[in-house]
Copies of this chain bind each other. A is one copy, B any other.
Amino acid sequence: MILSDRRKRVTIKDVAQAAGVSTQTVSRVMNKFSYVSGETRQRVEDVVEQLGYRPSTLARSLSQQRSYTLGVVTFGLKYIGPARTLNGVADKADELGYMLLMKELDNFNTNRIDDVIDSLLARQVDGIVWVAPEIGDNHTWVEERMNKIPVPVLFLAMQPRNGISSVATDNYQGAVLAIQHLLDCGRKNIGHISGPLSWWEADERKRGWKETLSAAGFDVCEKRCAEGNWSSSSGEQAFIQLLDSFPEMDAVFVANDQMALSVLRESHRRGINVPEELAVIGFDNIPESAYFHPSLTTISQDLQLLGEQAVQNIVEMIQARQENRPIPAQSIFIQPTLVIRESSMRI
Protein backbone atom coordinates (compact mmCIF):
# COMPACT_ATOMS: atom_id res chain seq x y z
CA MET A 1 0.00 0.00 0.00
CA ILE A 2 1.46 3.29 -1.01
CA LEU A 3 -0.67 6.03 0.41
CA SER A 4 -4.25 5.62 1.38
CA ASP A 5 -5.08 9.23 0.68
CA ARG A 6 -3.27 11.40 -1.77
CA ARG A 7 -4.32 14.55 -0.02
CA LYS A 8 -2.02 14.50 2.93
CA ARG A 9 0.98 12.55 4.02
CA VAL A 10 0.40 10.14 6.90
CA THR A 11 2.81 11.14 9.63
CA ILE A 12 4.09 9.51 12.71
CA LYS A 13 1.66 11.61 14.72
CA ASP A 14 -1.31 10.22 12.90
CA VAL A 15 -0.14 6.73 13.67
CA ALA A 16 0.58 7.57 17.28
CA GLN A 17 -2.84 9.05 17.75
CA ALA A 18 -4.67 6.23 16.03
CA ALA A 19 -2.78 3.64 18.07
CA GLY A 20 -3.11 5.60 21.29
CA VAL A 21 0.61 5.77 21.96
CA SER A 22 3.31 8.42 21.77
CA THR A 23 5.23 9.16 18.61
CA GLN A 24 8.32 7.83 20.27
CA THR A 25 6.74 4.43 20.63
CA VAL A 26 5.84 4.42 16.97
CA SER A 27 9.39 5.36 16.16
CA ARG A 28 10.58 2.45 18.29
CA VAL A 29 8.32 0.05 16.48
CA MET A 30 9.51 1.26 13.11
CA ASN A 31 13.17 1.03 14.01
CA LYS A 32 13.16 -2.18 16.07
CA PHE A 33 15.93 -2.62 18.61
CA SER A 34 14.17 -1.16 21.56
CA TYR A 35 11.75 -2.11 24.29
CA VAL A 36 8.20 -2.35 23.05
CA SER A 37 5.71 -4.89 24.33
CA GLY A 38 4.43 -7.42 21.87
CA GLU A 39 0.92 -6.19 22.26
CA THR A 40 1.75 -2.55 21.62
CA ARG A 41 4.00 -3.44 18.73
CA GLN A 42 1.20 -5.39 17.11
CA ARG A 43 -1.29 -2.60 17.58
CA VAL A 44 1.07 -0.04 16.08
CA GLU A 45 1.97 -2.28 13.19
CA ASP A 46 -1.70 -2.78 12.43
CA VAL A 47 -2.28 0.93 12.34
CA VAL A 48 0.80 1.45 10.18
CA GLU A 49 -0.51 -1.10 7.72
CA GLN A 50 -3.98 0.30 7.82
CA LEU A 51 -3.02 3.91 7.28
CA GLY A 52 -0.22 3.03 4.91
CA TYR A 53 2.28 4.93 6.95
CA ARG A 54 5.77 5.41 5.51
CA PRO A 55 8.30 7.30 7.58
CA SER A 56 9.72 10.39 5.94
CA THR A 57 13.33 9.65 5.22
CA LEU A 58 13.77 13.35 4.79
CA ALA A 59 12.76 14.14 8.34
CA ARG A 60 14.82 11.26 9.61
CA SER A 61 17.84 12.49 7.72
CA LEU A 62 17.50 15.89 9.27
CA SER A 63 17.20 14.68 12.80
CA GLN A 64 19.89 12.03 12.48
CA GLN A 65 22.24 14.17 10.46
CA ARG A 66 22.61 11.26 8.16
CA SER A 67 20.81 10.57 4.92
CA TYR A 68 21.85 7.14 3.70
CA THR A 69 22.38 8.82 0.39
CA LEU A 70 25.53 9.01 -1.69
CA GLY A 71 26.31 11.88 -3.99
CA VAL A 72 27.46 10.75 -7.41
CA VAL A 73 29.16 13.10 -9.80
CA THR A 74 29.34 11.80 -13.34
CA PHE A 75 30.74 12.94 -16.63
CA GLY A 76 30.14 11.61 -20.11
CA LEU A 77 27.23 9.39 -19.21
CA LYS A 78 26.36 9.00 -22.86
CA TYR A 79 29.44 6.85 -23.25
CA ILE A 80 29.23 3.27 -22.30
CA GLY A 81 32.17 3.33 -19.88
CA PRO A 82 30.80 5.79 -17.33
CA ALA A 83 27.37 4.23 -17.73
CA ARG A 84 28.61 0.78 -16.83
CA THR A 85 30.50 2.16 -13.90
CA LEU A 86 27.41 3.94 -12.72
CA ASN A 87 25.54 0.69 -13.05
CA GLY A 88 27.96 -0.93 -10.64
CA VAL A 89 27.63 2.00 -8.30
CA ALA A 90 23.86 1.81 -8.38
CA ASP A 91 23.74 -1.93 -7.76
CA LYS A 92 26.05 -1.87 -4.81
CA ALA A 93 24.44 1.20 -3.31
CA ASP A 94 21.12 -0.54 -3.48
CA GLU A 95 22.53 -3.63 -1.86
CA LEU A 96 23.94 -1.61 1.01
CA GLY A 97 20.80 0.44 1.50
CA TYR A 98 21.92 3.71 0.02
CA MET A 99 20.27 5.88 -2.56
CA LEU A 100 22.10 7.95 -5.12
CA LEU A 101 21.83 11.65 -5.62
CA MET A 102 23.18 12.30 -9.06
CA LYS A 103 24.77 15.29 -10.65
CA GLU A 104 26.19 15.30 -14.13
CA LEU A 105 29.05 17.57 -15.02
CA ASP A 106 29.10 19.10 -18.46
CA ASN A 107 32.57 20.52 -18.24
CA PHE A 108 35.27 21.15 -15.74
CA ASN A 109 34.80 24.73 -14.78
CA THR A 110 36.10 24.85 -11.26
CA ASN A 111 33.40 27.10 -9.88
CA ARG A 112 30.88 24.68 -11.10
CA ILE A 113 32.62 21.88 -9.23
CA ASP A 114 32.30 23.76 -5.97
CA ASP A 115 28.66 24.33 -6.68
CA VAL A 116 28.09 20.67 -7.38
CA ILE A 117 29.76 19.64 -4.15
CA ASP A 118 27.85 22.26 -2.22
CA SER A 119 24.55 21.19 -3.64
CA LEU A 120 25.24 17.61 -2.62
CA LEU A 121 26.31 18.62 0.86
CA ALA A 122 23.24 20.78 1.22
CA ARG A 123 21.26 17.59 0.85
CA GLN A 124 23.24 15.85 3.55
CA VAL A 125 24.84 13.17 1.44
CA ASP A 126 26.89 10.83 3.59
CA GLY A 127 29.65 10.56 1.01
CA ILE A 128 30.56 11.49 -2.54
CA VAL A 129 31.65 9.23 -5.39
CA TRP A 130 33.42 10.97 -8.21
CA VAL A 131 32.78 9.12 -11.48
CA ALA A 132 34.58 11.54 -13.77
CA PRO A 133 37.89 11.00 -15.54
CA GLU A 134 41.03 12.83 -14.66
CA ILE A 135 41.85 15.10 -17.55
CA GLY A 136 44.75 17.51 -17.60
CA ASP A 137 44.93 19.17 -14.22
CA ASN A 138 41.21 19.10 -13.63
CA HIS A 139 41.76 17.17 -10.43
CA THR A 140 44.29 19.50 -8.86
CA TRP A 141 41.54 21.27 -6.95
CA VAL A 142 41.16 18.01 -5.13
CA GLU A 143 44.20 18.50 -3.00
CA GLU A 144 43.19 21.88 -1.70
CA ARG A 145 39.53 21.22 -1.19
CA MET A 146 39.42 17.67 0.04
CA ASN A 147 40.01 18.52 3.66
CA LYS A 148 37.26 21.09 3.64
CA ILE A 149 34.65 18.58 2.59
CA PRO A 150 33.00 17.20 5.69
CA VAL A 151 32.14 13.78 4.23
CA PRO A 152 34.24 11.02 2.68
CA VAL A 153 34.99 11.38 -1.01
CA LEU A 154 36.07 8.60 -3.31
CA PHE A 155 37.45 9.05 -6.79
CA LEU A 156 37.17 6.67 -9.69
CA ALA A 157 39.77 6.45 -12.42
CA MET A 158 42.02 8.93 -10.73
CA GLN A 159 45.76 8.78 -10.46
CA PRO A 160 46.59 7.56 -6.95
CA ARG A 161 47.36 10.43 -4.63
CA ASN A 162 48.47 10.44 -1.07
CA GLY A 163 45.72 10.73 1.46
CA ILE A 164 42.96 10.41 -1.12
CA SER A 165 40.88 7.31 -1.70
CA SER A 166 40.46 6.08 -5.23
CA VAL A 167 39.59 3.04 -7.28
CA ALA A 168 40.87 2.62 -10.80
CA THR A 169 41.57 0.06 -13.46
CA ASP A 170 45.27 -0.64 -13.75
CA ASN A 171 45.58 0.81 -17.22
CA TYR A 172 49.32 0.44 -17.23
CA GLN A 173 49.13 -3.27 -16.53
CA GLY A 174 46.44 -3.65 -19.14
CA ALA A 175 48.76 -2.19 -21.72
CA VAL A 176 51.56 -4.44 -20.54
CA LEU A 177 49.30 -7.46 -21.04
CA ALA A 178 48.44 -6.29 -24.52
CA ILE A 179 52.01 -5.71 -25.62
CA GLN A 180 53.28 -8.92 -24.11
CA HIS A 181 50.60 -10.80 -25.98
CA LEU A 182 51.65 -9.18 -29.26
CA LEU A 183 55.27 -9.97 -28.56
CA ASP A 184 54.28 -13.57 -27.78
CA CYS A 185 52.63 -13.63 -31.17
CA GLY A 186 55.95 -12.84 -32.71
CA ARG A 187 55.29 -9.21 -33.60
CA LYS A 188 58.28 -6.94 -33.88
CA ASN A 189 56.91 -3.58 -34.89
CA ILE A 190 54.17 -2.61 -32.56
CA GLY A 191 52.49 0.75 -33.00
CA HIS A 192 50.06 2.50 -30.68
CA ILE A 193 46.98 4.62 -31.15
CA SER A 194 46.43 6.41 -27.88
CA GLY A 195 43.49 8.21 -26.40
CA PRO A 196 43.78 11.93 -25.73
CA LEU A 197 46.97 12.16 -23.71
CA SER A 198 45.55 14.77 -21.39
CA TRP A 199 43.57 11.89 -19.92
CA TRP A 200 45.43 10.08 -17.21
CA GLU A 201 44.06 6.75 -18.40
CA ALA A 202 45.25 7.31 -21.95
CA ASP A 203 48.64 8.30 -20.69
CA GLU A 204 48.94 5.19 -18.56
CA ARG A 205 48.09 2.94 -21.46
CA LYS A 206 50.67 4.63 -23.59
CA ARG A 207 53.24 4.30 -20.82
CA GLY A 208 52.56 0.57 -20.65
CA TRP A 209 53.12 0.28 -24.38
CA LYS A 210 56.31 2.29 -24.30
CA GLU A 211 57.94 0.74 -21.26
CA THR A 212 57.13 -2.84 -22.17
CA LEU A 213 58.62 -2.41 -25.61
CA SER A 214 61.70 -0.66 -24.26
CA ALA A 215 62.21 -3.40 -21.71
CA ALA A 216 62.05 -5.95 -24.52
CA GLY A 217 64.73 -4.05 -26.36
CA PHE A 218 62.59 -2.34 -28.98
CA ASP A 219 62.76 1.16 -30.20
CA VAL A 220 59.78 3.34 -29.32
CA CYS A 221 60.05 6.67 -31.02
CA GLU A 222 57.06 8.96 -31.34
CA LYS A 223 56.59 8.05 -34.99
CA ARG A 224 55.22 4.75 -33.85
CA CYS A 225 52.39 6.38 -32.00
CA ALA A 226 49.41 8.56 -32.90
CA GLU A 227 46.80 10.23 -30.77
CA GLY A 228 43.05 9.89 -31.10
CA ASN A 229 40.16 11.16 -28.98
CA TRP A 230 38.45 7.80 -28.30
CA SER A 231 35.98 8.17 -31.17
CA SER A 232 35.97 5.82 -34.14
CA SER A 233 36.51 8.66 -36.55
CA SER A 234 39.56 9.93 -34.69
CA GLY A 235 40.88 6.38 -34.66
CA GLU A 236 40.64 6.28 -38.42
CA GLN A 237 42.65 9.48 -38.73
CA ALA A 238 45.28 8.27 -36.31
CA PHE A 239 45.60 4.97 -38.10
CA ILE A 240 46.09 6.61 -41.48
CA GLN A 241 48.75 8.81 -39.99
CA LEU A 242 50.46 5.84 -38.39
CA LEU A 243 50.49 3.82 -41.61
CA ASP A 244 52.38 6.68 -43.09
CA SER A 245 54.88 7.30 -40.31
CA PHE A 246 55.47 3.67 -39.39
CA PRO A 247 54.96 1.59 -42.56
CA GLU A 248 56.71 -1.50 -41.24
CA MET A 249 54.17 -1.82 -38.46
CA ASP A 250 52.93 -5.41 -38.01
CA ALA A 251 50.79 -4.89 -34.92
CA VAL A 252 48.92 -2.04 -33.29
CA PHE A 253 47.69 -1.56 -29.76
CA VAL A 254 44.66 0.72 -29.83
CA ALA A 255 43.61 2.46 -26.65
CA ASN A 256 39.94 1.59 -26.96
CA ASP A 257 37.66 -0.68 -28.94
CA GLN A 258 35.83 2.08 -30.78
CA MET A 259 39.03 3.27 -32.36
CA ALA A 260 40.14 -0.29 -32.99
CA LEU A 261 36.94 -0.81 -34.94
CA SER A 262 37.89 1.83 -37.45
CA VAL A 263 41.38 0.34 -37.70
CA LEU A 264 39.79 -2.95 -38.75
CA ARG A 265 37.59 -1.21 -41.23
CA GLU A 266 40.33 0.89 -42.77
CA SER A 267 42.64 -2.11 -42.96
CA HIS A 268 40.04 -4.03 -44.88
CA ARG A 269 39.49 -1.12 -47.21
CA ARG A 270 43.22 -0.96 -47.98
CA GLY A 271 43.55 -4.70 -48.37
CA ILE A 272 45.71 -5.10 -45.30
CA ASN A 273 45.02 -8.54 -43.86
CA VAL A 274 44.18 -8.71 -40.17
CA PRO A 275 45.71 -10.53 -38.39
CA GLU A 276 48.16 -11.94 -40.92
CA GLU A 277 49.78 -8.67 -41.88
CA LEU A 278 48.63 -6.59 -38.95
CA ALA A 279 47.59 -7.71 -35.51
CA VAL A 280 45.11 -5.43 -33.74
CA ILE A 281 44.33 -5.29 -30.07
CA GLY A 282 41.86 -2.96 -28.38
CA PHE A 283 40.97 -1.97 -24.84
CA ASP A 284 37.64 -2.11 -22.93
CA ASN A 285 36.00 -5.20 -24.38
CA ILE A 286 32.74 -3.61 -25.41
CA PRO A 287 30.07 -6.22 -26.15
CA GLU A 288 30.21 -5.57 -29.90
CA SER A 289 33.92 -6.28 -30.17
CA ALA A 290 33.36 -10.02 -30.30
CA TYR A 291 31.35 -9.43 -33.48
CA PHE A 292 33.70 -7.16 -35.31
CA HIS A 293 35.25 -8.54 -38.43
CA PRO A 294 37.60 -10.10 -37.53
CA SER A 295 36.61 -10.38 -33.91
CA LEU A 296 38.75 -8.14 -31.75
CA THR A 297 41.37 -9.19 -29.26
CA THR A 298 41.14 -6.72 -26.41
CA ILE A 299 41.84 -5.89 -22.79
CA SER A 300 38.76 -6.34 -20.69
CA GLN A 301 38.17 -3.99 -17.81
CA ASP A 302 35.36 -4.65 -15.40
CA LEU A 303 33.78 -1.26 -14.93
CA GLN A 304 30.79 -2.70 -13.15
CA LEU A 305 33.12 -4.09 -10.53
CA LEU A 306 34.92 -0.78 -10.37
CA GLY A 307 31.71 0.95 -9.41
CA GLU A 308 30.82 -1.71 -6.89
CA GLN A 309 34.19 -1.57 -5.28
CA ALA A 310 33.93 2.18 -5.04
CA VAL A 311 30.67 2.05 -3.17
CA GLN A 312 31.88 -0.73 -0.92
CA ASN A 313 34.83 1.42 0.03
CA ILE A 314 33.06 4.65 0.61
CA VAL A 315 30.44 2.99 2.74
CA GLU A 316 33.21 1.60 4.90
CA MET A 317 34.68 5.05 5.15
CA ILE A 318 31.34 6.43 6.17
CA GLN A 319 30.88 3.83 8.86
CA ALA A 320 34.40 4.36 10.11
CA ARG A 321 33.78 8.05 10.44
CA GLN A 322 30.50 7.38 12.18
CA GLU A 323 32.25 5.31 14.79
CA ASN A 324 35.00 7.84 15.03
CA ARG A 325 37.69 5.42 13.93
CA PRO A 326 40.63 6.61 11.88
CA ILE A 327 39.98 6.41 8.14
CA PRO A 328 43.09 5.38 6.25
CA ALA A 329 42.80 6.55 2.64
CA GLN A 330 43.67 3.91 0.09
CA SER A 331 44.09 3.66 -3.65
CA ILE A 332 42.84 0.46 -5.19
CA PHE A 333 43.77 -0.90 -8.58
CA ILE A 334 41.60 -3.38 -10.41
CA GLN A 335 43.41 -5.68 -12.79
CA PRO A 336 42.14 -5.95 -16.36
CA THR A 337 42.38 -9.19 -18.34
CA LEU A 338 43.37 -10.22 -21.81
CA VAL A 339 40.69 -11.54 -24.17
CA ILE A 340 42.15 -13.24 -27.21
CA ARG A 341 40.14 -13.30 -30.43
CA GLU A 342 40.81 -13.38 -34.14
CA SER A 343 42.45 -10.01 -34.66
CA SER A 344 45.71 -11.11 -33.11
CA MET A 345 47.48 -14.29 -34.06
CA ARG A 346 50.78 -16.00 -33.77
CA ILE A 347 52.94 -15.70 -36.91
Residues of A at the B interface (CB closer than 8 Å) are 1-4, 6, 9, 54-59, 61-62, 67, 69, 72, 74, 77-80, 82-84, 86-87, 90-91, 94, 99-104, 106, 114, 117-119, 121-124, 145, 147-150, 231-233, 236, 258, 261-262, 264-265, 268, 287-288, 290-293, 304
B100 and A2 contacting across the interface, CB-CB below 8 Å: no
Q: How far is the CB of A177 from chain B (nearest CB, A)?
A: 23
Complex formed: what's the CA distance from A183 to B74 in Å?
A: 44
Task: Specify the chain B residue showing the minimal Cβ separation from A82.
Answer: B83
B2, B101, B114: the one within 8 Å of A148 (CB): B2
Contact (A83, B78) CB under 8 Å given A9-B150, A232-B287: yes
Task: Specify the chain B residue showing the minimal Cβ separation from A2.
Answer: B148
A124 and B268 contacting across the interface, CB-CB below 8 Å: no
Q: Which secondary structure dominates chain A's binding surface? A: helix
A288 and B304 contacting across the interface, CB-CB below 8 Å: no
B67 and A58 contacting across the interface, CB-CB below 8 Å: yes
Instruction: Name, among A83, A119, A233, A268, the residue most crowded by chain B CB atoms within 10 Å (CB to CB).
Output: A83
Q: How far is the CB of A36 from chain B (nearest CB, A)?
A: 22
B59, B90, B124, B291: the one within 8 Å of A102 (CB): B90
B84, B101, B292: the one within 8 Å of A99 (CB): B101
Residues of B within 8 A of A61 (CB): 58
Chain multiplicity (copies):
2
Complex formed: what's the CA distance from A78 to B302 in Å?
A: 12
Task: Specify the chain B residue showing the minimal Cβ separation from A7.
Answer: B150
A58 and B114 contacting across the interface, CB-CB below 8 Å: no
B84, B99, B114, B232: the one within 8 Å of A123 (CB): B99
Complex formed: what's the CA distance from A149 to B102 in Å?
A: 23
Residues of B within 8 A of A91 (CB): 104, 106
A103 and B114 contacting across the interface, CB-CB below 8 Å: no
Residues of B within 8 A of A1 (CB): 148
B102 and A87 contacting across the interface, CB-CB below 8 Å: no
A150 and B3 contacting across the interface, CB-CB below 8 Å: yes
A2 and B145 contacting across the interface, CB-CB below 8 Å: yes
| 29 intermolecular pairs with C-beta atoms under 8 Å apart | A2-B117, A2-B118, A2-B148, A2-B149, A3-B150, A6-B147, A6-B150, A54-B118, A56-B62, A58-B122, A58-B123, A69-B101, A69-B123, A74-B90, A77-B84, A77-B87, A80-B80, A91-B106, A94-B103, A100-B101, A232-B287, A232-B290, A233-B290, A258-B287, A258-B288, A264-B293, A265-B293, A268-B293, A293-B293
